[in-house]
Amino acid sequence: MMTTLYEQTVPVFIRNLTSIGKVLAKGEAFAAEKGIDPRELLDARLIDDMAPLTAQIQRMSDAAKGLAVRLGGVENVAMADEEKTFADLQARIARTIAFLEKVPADAFDGKEDAPVELATPKQTFTFTGESYVATFALPNFFFHMTTAYGLLRMKGVQIGKMDYLGGV
């Protein structure tokens, strides 16, 4: 039996948004326990020209929502990138999950070869539904998730692979 584009994406995004929410909770607890200003974690960057932790979570949210819009044909829910606290990030994760939970699985049916266009400020990419999932949507989502995890780990938060994987 073939796995559908929906099964490859939406449930995966929901599971991993839930996992990163738990990782963020550990980061918030760590800051409180160590007396660290939470902004030190939330503003953390791997290098000056990379986005901070807050933006990594925002991009995870955008990647998940963008897939549902481009492949599922659902109307996007705008989310301003104004998150400044751990609570703000948790709320965005919850809103993103709620959005994804409303996406009908059958909206992805037959979209494997459908054209998907992704316009960025610098260029426009054209995919099929299947190539969009495999070469952009999933890798992009996990790039930002891994970066968020790495930022917290770099700051000393005691998290490990099983936290990243959601306790499998």
21-42: average pLDDT? 98
Arithmetic mean of pLDDT over the chain: 96
Domain extent at residue 160 = 5-164
125 DSSP β-pair partners: 118
- For the record, the structure tokens of 61 come out as 């949210």
Residue 1 scores a pLDDT above 80: no
Percent of the chain with pLDDT over 70: 99
The pLDDT of residue 168: 60
Three-state SS for 126? strand
Residue 159 scores a pLDDT above 90: yes
Check: CB of residue 87 under 8 Å from CB of residue 94: no
The pLDDT of residue 167: 72
DSSP E strand stretches across 71-140 = 115-119, 124-128
The total of structural domains in the chain comes to 1
For the domain that residue 136 is a member of, what is the CATH number? 1.20.120.450
Residue type, 65: K
Q: What is the pTM of this model?
A: 0.96
If residue 3 lies in a helix (H) or strand (E), which one and from where to where? Answer: none
pLDDT digits (tens, 9 = 90+) for 73-128: 999 999 999 999 999 999 999 999 999 999 999 999 999 999 999 999 999 999 99
Three-state SS for 147? helix
List, as own/partner pairs, every contact residues 108-111 make where C-beta atoms lie below 8 angstroms and the sequence separation is at least 24, other chains included. Answer: 108/4, 108/5, 108/6, 108/9, 108/71, 108/72, 109/4, 109/6, 111/5, 111/71
